[in-house]
Amino acid sequence: MTANEVRERMNQWGGRREPFLFGVDFELTGGFFIPSPLQQQDVLFEVGGVTNAPRIDFPAGKVFIPHPVSGKEYEGKFNTVRRGLMRGDSFLLNLTVATALETDWTLEGIFHRARSLYRLLLPGKFVCFSPEIFVRIDKGVISSYPMKGTIDARVPDAERVILEDYKERAEHYTIVDLIRNDLNRVAENVRVPRFRYIDRLHTSNGEVLQVSSEVAGDLKGDYFSRLGDIVFELLPAGSISGAPKPSTLDIIARAEGETRGYYTGVFGYFDGEKFDSAVMIRFVEWRDGQFYFRSGGGITINSDCRAEYEEVLKKVYLPFTGC
């Protein structure tokens, strides 16, 4: 269905306090909407511990070999972004690429073995195991948790290194400011209860540290009947687009040269009272007879091309050990 149809149904079901699962793509052209999602298993999901997925000991794969774009190809995309940054068209931009995978894993196998705060499986299309919250709404408070800054936990004194890194710090300040501005469009009394705290993620490549913040605001009136309007006013998610959004999105389209589809879109679950949603990062898709792992990172005027290319490659992992 169209993204606008998803938006309208979110308003309708939210106003009636009826549970639903939704998803929308990055370009805001299409999506899905599933009423009473716990009663079906066509689309499997987990959102904050709530899931419709049965416990299945799915066979493990053994092969997981990335075939990334070359450093030269990435450099071409990076330079397109850098020119935009130099012109002042953007201050922060999230550049993503698709890495071809040679693997005997299946989308279903990855989903059932993944351990992640948010999981989603659209059979035959993609699996997502995202650690990144988009927005949560509970008791009139809307909260967002942007993640910016990643480092291998094996780096000596990794937590101090990532928190004191000038480029990463500037990037995080920028995205928090963007999210504050976004929430000000739908909420009052916008604030930052927690700033630059560390999340630890266990992956097939070892433990990684990611820097997050919490931004919150207050919703007034009957926000349930405006759930779709509220969420769509914040799209696309600032953490995987950039600032300012309109001109940044133009640069992304030129640099990446392909649509993202559901990758870096959002999905979420409403239980009748609480709303929870995620940004669709950590994403494996099946298209044109090939698996692809989609990954990216934030680019600023201070970014180093080689370092950014290596960060993109480090994010190609499965959320469990033994593969």
Q: Where does the pLDDT of residue 205 fall: very low under 50, low under 70, confident under 90, or very high at 90 and above?
A: low
319 domain residue, yes or no:
no
Q: Where does the pLDDT of residue 203 fall: very low under 50, low under 70, confident under 90, or very high at 90 and above?
A: low
103-142 pLDDT, tens digit per residue, is 999 999 999 998 888 999 999 999 999 988 999 999 999 9
320 domain residue, yes or no:
no
Q: Where does the pLDDT of residue 99 fall: very low under 50, low under 70, confident under 90, or very high at 90 and above?
A: very high
- What is the number of domains present in the chain? 1
Domain extent, residue 275, equals: 3-314
pLDDT at 323: 52
Determine how many CB atoms are found less than 10 A away from the CB of residue 49.
7
323 domain residue, yes or no:
no
77 domain residue, yes or no:
yes
Task: Give yes or no for a contact between 104 and 271, defined as CB atoms under 8 angstroms apart.
Answer: no
Average of per-residue pLDDT values in the chain = 92
Task: Give yes or no for a contact between 136 and 143, defined as CB atoms under 8 angstroms apart.
Answer: yes
Phi, psi of 315 (to 5 degrees): -85, 0
For residue 36, is it left (φ>0), alpha (ψ between -120 and 50) or beta?
left
Cα separation, 84 vs 82, in Å, equals 5
322 domain residue, yes or no:
no
pLDDT at 202: 67
Beta strands in 15-71 (DSSP E): 20-24, 31-35, 44-47, 50-51, 64-67
CATH number at residue 250: 3.60.120.10
321 domain residue, yes or no:
no
220 domain residue, yes or no:
yes
Tokens 């066509």 correspond to 42
pLDDT at 199: 78
Per-residue pLDDT, averaged over 258-285, amounts to: 97
DSSP string, 199-226: EEEEETTEEEEEEEEEEEEE--S-GGGG
Q: Where does the pLDDT of residue 207 fall: very low under 50, low under 70, confident under 90, or very high at 90 and above?
A: confident
